[in-house]
């Protein structure tokens, strides 16, 4: 091929990988690439903060399954990516981050924005590389896409010295990387697993984030059709159980070991974990007695843990292994234990408790959750920030399609909801996207409202306001009998929204919540709704429940 600059080679390689958009902020060390992107079909989304650019790229990866891409300049432009990268890498979201840096001759000098960014990023990514020769650009970038998109999926970082992207080269392009899935686990192990499940008195499925992949969801639903086992999900396994099999679901588990699903797991004699990652919910929380036989079904071996020592490990492609296991299990009716029914009823009764629906300036979390669930379809994407609302939503908001209710479960990162929503609106341009944050987390990324307005993102962002970092506060009260360091100043959410050109609403009374929601759903473009929230029941979130319910 004719000689082209390294910058153009970067853009052409992104095109080879079918990248549709790049999120980022330019600067002198990387602007040759930004300049060449103008002539490509790739959409450049200029953000207000590099951290949010990384969040958006990660959301593209989680929702589509293909790596999202962000791009920044050198120095702080690179270091601002760290939180976004560690969040994506911990939670299995495929993404690529590209940053510029100084010329190669200046890399080890105390010069403007000189920084060993690749070393900084190694602990928070699957792959971190500084490219020192433009001829290596296609190889390194293609490898980065392969690494990011190979289980367990995660983040890759590429650093580009300025003279590498300005020099010319005639190295050929590499075609789009192809990911070849492994086969199922060995047949002998699958047969042994089928015997364990069939011979168990109370077998239970614990589904993790690896089970939310669309291919896994399809075969897992088939397994539940054939052998209707009770199932519990982590917060990131939301939506894997469809409405027609909802009676098998005994809720979600995470953070506090006090849910009906925790009681079920404590009494199970065989637990089949599918795509489970301990970072979602540590086994010390749900397997204290270590009495159940655990079957670990995943693409990689389990981590050594005192509370997680599988009887059997089914290592291979998750979807292929579930499909093969289903063929070995004999069709049967639902396990009809009275205790399972009691747990399911308990799970549902908690959702029905709705104090303060009418009257009063503050909205109860369950009132919000039930109202929103009634007004939107199962195909609406809802992104959640971290805060007390995250616990309420993770436990009680019904979702019946995968990757439609998104949480930061591994790192519990503040500020993800709005950037994720902007990315989700790009993936689903003809759908309304919902995002939720507290007033604490909202200001971690509220500057991206301008980005949302510029893109005319079809989103509604609900801000649960109470003037504190409440998720920290109520746990402090549980531990110390008082809170500290949680109080915030006043925030006028409506004026804040309007200052960016977005539409803002305030719910002045809990009785008008539904009317405000309905109005917001009719408006195109970004809408921000201030929800004064009633957190008086938050202490209940951390309280223990009795195991007697299963008897």
- 95 and 200 inside one domain: no
In-domain check, residue 549: no
Q: Are residues 314 and 392 in the same domain?
A: no
**Looking at residue 550, what is its pLDDT?**
47
Taking only the tens place, the pLDDT of each residue in 232-249 is 999 999 999 999 998 888
**Is 508 a member of any domain?**
yes
Q: Residue 123's pLDDT is what?
A: 97
Task: Tell me which range, 197-201, 294-298, 343-347, is most confidently predicted by mean pLDDT.
Answer: 294-298
Residue recorded with tokens 């999120």: 23
Q: Is residue 66 part of a domain?
A: yes
Q: 174 lies in a domain?
A: no
Q: What's the confidence (pLDDT) of residue 181?
A: 82
> In this structure, what token pair is assigned to residue 423?
């990315």
The rounded percent of the chain whose pLDDT value lies above 90 is: 74
- Mean pLDDT value across residues 388-416: 92
Whether 317 has a pLDDT exceeding 80, the answer reads: yes
Rama region for 328: left / alpha / beta (φ>0; ψ in -120 to 50; rest): alpha
Q: Which of 169, 201, 221 is the last residue of a domain?
A: 169
Distance CA 233, CA 394 (A): 10
Q: Quick one: pLDDT at residue 342?
A: 73
Assigned domain for 490 exists:
yes
Q: What's the domain count of the chain?
A: 3
Across residues 289-294, what is the average pLDDT? 93
Residues 455, 322 within the same domain = no
The answer on 327 and 261 residing in a single domain is: yes
Q: Are residues 28 and 150 in the same domain?
A: yes
Closest CA to 77 of 55, 104, 116, 49: 49
Is 436 domain-assigned?
A: yes
Long-range contacts of 41-49 (CB under 8 A, 24+ apart): 41/15, 42/11, 42/14, 42/15, 45/21, 45/426, 45/451, 45/455, 46/451, 47/23, 47/419, 47/448, 47/451, 48/447, 48/448, 48/450, 48/451, 49/25, 49/80, 49/445, 49/447, 49/448
pLDDT at residue 474 is higher than 90: no
pLDDT in tens, 19-47: 999 999 999 999 999 999 999 999 999 99
| 359: pLDDT strictly greater than 80 | no
For the segment 468-484, the average pLDDT, to the nearest whole number, is 89
Instruction: Calculate the average pLDDT of the chain.
Output: 91
Label residue 336 by pLDDT band (50, 70, 90).
low
Q: Is residue 529 included in any domain, yes or no?
A: yes
Of 319, 345, 371, the residue that ends a domain is 345
Residues 333 and 361 in one domain: no
364-382: buried (b, 16+ CB within 10 Å) or exposed (e) per residue?
Answer: bbbbbbbbbbeebeeebbb
The stretch 383-412 carries a mean pLDDT of: 92
Q: What is the pLDDT of residue 473?
A: 85
Q: Would residue 290 be called left, alpha or beta, if left means φ above 0 and alpha means ψ between -120 and 50 degrees? A: left
Mean predicted confidence (pLDDT) in 212-227: 94
For residues 66-73, average pLDDT: 97
* 177 token code pair: 């990387």
* CATH number of the domain to which 389 belongs: 3.40.50.970
- Whether the pLDDT of residue 411 is over 70: the answer is yes
Do 159 and 20 sit in the same domain of this protein?
yes
Q: Residue 374: what are its φ and ψ, rounded to 5°?
A: -70, -25
Averaged pLDDT for residues 505-523: 95
Report whether pLDDT(142) > 70: yes
Helices (H), 38-101: 50-64, 76-79, 82-91
- Output the pLDDT for position 80: 97
148 and 22, same structural domain? yes
| pLDDT, mean of residues 146-173 | 94
Same structural domain, 303 and 224: yes
pLDDT at 343: 72
If asked whether residues 224 and 327 sit together in one domain, one would say: yes
Assigned domain for 551 exists: no
Per the structure, the complete domain to which residue 433 belongs is given by: 353-540
Q: Is the pLDDT of residue 551 over 50?
A: no
Judge contact between 55 and 77, C-beta under 8 A: no
Together in a domain, 156 and 222: no
Indicate the residue among 169, 204, 236 that finishes a domain. Answer: 169
pLDDT at 356 over 80: no
pLDDT-derived band at 355 (thresholds 50, 70, 90) equals low
CA separation for the pair 382, 509 (Å, rounded): 24
pLDDT (mean) for 364-388: 94
């Amino acid at each position: 091929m004719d000689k082209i600059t390294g910058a153009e080679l970067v853009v052409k390689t992104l095109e080879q990988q079918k990248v549709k958009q790049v999120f980022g902020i330019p600067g002198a060390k990387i602007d040759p690439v930004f300049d060449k992107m103008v002539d490509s079909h790739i959409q450049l989304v200029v953000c207000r903060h590099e951290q949010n650019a990384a969040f958006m790229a990660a959301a593209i990866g989680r929702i589509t399954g293909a790596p999202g891409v962000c791009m920044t300049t050198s120095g702080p432009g690179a270091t601002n990516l760290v939180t976004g990268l560690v969040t994506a890498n911990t939670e299995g979201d495929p993404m690529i981050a590209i940053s510029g840096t100084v010329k190669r001759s200046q890399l080890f000098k105390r010069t403007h924005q000189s920084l060993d960014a690749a070393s900084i990023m190694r602990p928070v990514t699957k792959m971190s590389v500084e490219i020192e020769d433009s001829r290596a650009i296609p190889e390194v970038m293609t490898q980065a896409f392969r690494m990011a998109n190979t289980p367990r999926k995660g983040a890759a970082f590429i650093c580009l010295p300025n003279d590498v992207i300005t020099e010319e080269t005639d190295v050929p392009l590499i075609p789009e990387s192809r990911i070849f899935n492994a086969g199922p686990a060995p047949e002998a192990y699958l047969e042994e697993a089928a015997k364990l499940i069939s011979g168990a008195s109370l077998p239970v499925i614990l589904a993790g984030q690896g089970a939310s992949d669309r291919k896994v969801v399809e075969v897992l639903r088939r397994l539940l059709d054939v052998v209707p086992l009770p199932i519990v999900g982590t917060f990131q396994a939301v939506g894997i159980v469809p409405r027609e099999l909802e009676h098998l679901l005994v809720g979600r588990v995470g953070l506090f070991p006090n849910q009906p699903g925790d009681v079920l797991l404590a009494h199970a004699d065989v637990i089949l974990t599918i795509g489970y990652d301990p970072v979602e919910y540590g086994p010390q929380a749900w397997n204290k007695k270590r009495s159940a036989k655990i079957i670990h079904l995943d693409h990689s071996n389990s981590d050594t843990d005192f509370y997680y020592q599988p009887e059997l490990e089914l290592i291979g492609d998750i979807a292929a292994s579930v499909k093969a296991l289903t063929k070995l299990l004999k069709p049967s009716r639902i396990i009809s234990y009275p205790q399972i029914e009691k747990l399911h009823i308990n799970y549902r009764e908690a959702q029905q408790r709705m104090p303060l629906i009418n009257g009063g300036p503050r909205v109860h979390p369950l009132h919000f959750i039930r109202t929103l669930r009634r007004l939107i379809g199962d195909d609406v994407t809802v992104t959640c920030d971290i805060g007390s609302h995250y616990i309420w939503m993770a436990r009680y908001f019904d979702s019946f399609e995968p990757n439609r209710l998104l949480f930061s479960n591994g790192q519990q990162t503040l500020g993800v909801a709005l950037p994720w929503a902007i990315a989700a609106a790009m993936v689903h341009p003809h759908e309304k996207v919902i995002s939720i944050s507290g007033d604490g987390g909202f200001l971690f990324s509220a500057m991206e409202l301008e980005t949302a307005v510029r893109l005319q993102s079809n989103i509604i962002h609900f801000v649960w306001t109470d003037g504190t970092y409440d998720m920290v506060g109520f746990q402090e009260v549980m531990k110390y009998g008082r809170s500290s360091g949680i109080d915030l100043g006043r925030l006028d959410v409506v004026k804040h929204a309007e200052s960016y050109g977005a539409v803002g609403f305030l719910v002045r009374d809990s009785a008008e919540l539904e009317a405000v929601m309905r109005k917001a759903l009719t408006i195109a473009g970004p809408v921000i709704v201030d929800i004064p929230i009633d957190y008086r029941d938050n202490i209940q979130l951390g309280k223990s429940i009795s195991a007697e319910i299963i008897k």
